[in-house]
Amino acid sequence: MPLRIESFDGDYVCSVRKAYKDILKRIADICCTDVFFAVDQANRITKFIDETYGVKPDFPWKDDNGVFRHLDNNKWFSLIMYVSLDALLKNGDNRKLNIINLKIDTSKRDELHKINGIYPAFHMNHKTWISVVLDDTICDDKIIELIQSSFDLTK
């Protein structure tokens, strides 16, 4: 019990506590893989963004909403959020899912909104941004194409 109570600070307890934490860290390092998001597709897309642009998400709100920014001007080109389906569709469905917000060429907005899994952007300007559901409804290649366009539009 003294091992778990931080106020116990004797030499022996502290040395055992340190050894205990070191063992747990080694186990975690060997057995676990860090992922940023709850959904596989969101993590695949994050890996693509990191490998292509050298950008990892930052979490300015200390929650599970990750912002991807240009390294030179700090402008956002993508945002992955964990939201309810109701936030997108206003249909009362409270299931949570990851979405990615991307800037678009406004001339393609109507065409994109016709695609199942692409919606007017949640929490962003609906004219210039879209939300794409990250549940494998849309293939990674299409999302990557949209990311590349968003990256170029926000330079």
CATH of the domain at 59: 3.90.1150.30
Say yes or no: 116 and 74 in one domain: yes
Tokens coding 35 = 């992922």
Say yes or no: 10 and 59 in one domain: no
Give residue 135's pLDDT band: very low, low, confident or very high (50, 70, 90): very high
Strands (E), the chain: 66-69, 76-84, 96-103, 118-120, 129-133
Domain that holds residue 18: 2-31
Say yes or no: 8 and 74 in one domain: no
pTM of the model: 0.79
Of the candidates 66, 61, 30, the residue with the CA atom closest to the CA atom of residue 46: 66
Say yes or no: 116 and 73 in one domain: yes
Say yes or no: 127 and 52 in one domain: yes
User: pLDDT tens for residues 42-70?
Assistant: 999 999 999 999 999 999 998 889 999 99
Give residue 133's pLDDT band: very low, low, confident or very high (50, 70, 90): very high
Q: What's the CA gap between 11 and 6, in Å, rounded? A: 12
Say yes or no: 65 and 133 in one domain: yes
Give residue 1's pLDDT band: very low, low, confident or very high (50, 70, 90): confident
Sheet of 66-69, strands arranged across: 66-69, 76-84, 96-103, 129-133, 118-120
Say yes or no: 12 and 60 in one domain: no
Number of domains comprising the chain: 2
